[in-house]
Structure 1
Amino acid sequence: MDAERAAAIERFNQICRESRVAVRIVSATPEQIAELEQAIADYLAAHGWSALDIANGRHVREGWDIGGFAPEDAPSDQQMAAAAAWDEAEAIAKRIAQRVLGQLHPAMEIEVLFDRDGYDEVCEVLSPPRPFGDENA
């Protein structure tokens, strides 16, 4: 493996480690949001997932759904486990929001924050685009 690829892999791992889940609820205080985000971070850490891992798993599972669940496009077991971890992170946020806000169905948004520019740069090194029409590139 060349030095540029090894550095890109290390940078990718760093971006994953530094990714985090952000929760938005209009009626919540900053302290309540911090509690929700910390609970999700604790869950992910306890299960060895990064926020970016679970977001990617969810993305792959949704693409499979959109594609009609074609068996040949089925996500890997790891991708499905990551998607399930996203579902659990959402459920954790909802349970805590219900408890601290006293609302049965709090309207919330959950997103993953990460170094998008760094991620794009790493992807260029790890998966460079092939020239159009060049089957052997």
Structure 2
Amino acid sequence: GQIFYFGTKYSQAMNFAVTGQDGQKFFPEMGSYGIGVSRLVGAIIEAKHDEAGIIWPDAIAPFKAAILNLRQGDATTDALCEKIYTSFGNDALYDDREERAGAKFAEADLLGHPWQIIIGPRGAANGVVELKRRVTGERFELPVEEALAKVNA
């Protein structure tokens, strides 16, 4: 963080005086302490990471979840991904790139969103998604609504 000493500059400018123990009025000396946002982000990443990347705590994650479309262009998979993405509003990152699944998994781990919702054509056809918890690595195969409830709990 940063510490700034202002002396009596602002207490005098605001005509802010207090009475001391001796009954005399005086202008108090002032200062401030601030934590820079960029430093805070760096400190969090330093404390919350593993060999694969960042592990954002739920309360401060940029997004609750990363939605990984494993078969971009498959109508059923695309539709389910869009439905799930829309349900999150602005609180999910949708990876709809035409990229290998392994690359998507690695980059999702690197970015560190608390949850990964993994959607492939077989699961989409059955209304099931794979859910991965980034901090533990646990994976669950769940019906869509149950997975969303778990992420939003």
TM-score band, normalised by the shorter chain? under 0.3
What is the TM-score normalised by the length of structure 1? Answer: 0.27
What is the TM-score normalised by the length of structure 2? Answer: 0.25
Q: Larger Rg: 1 or 2?
A: 2
Instruction: Say which structure is richer in strand.
Output: 2
Greater relative contact order structure (CA < 8 Å, 6+ sep):
1
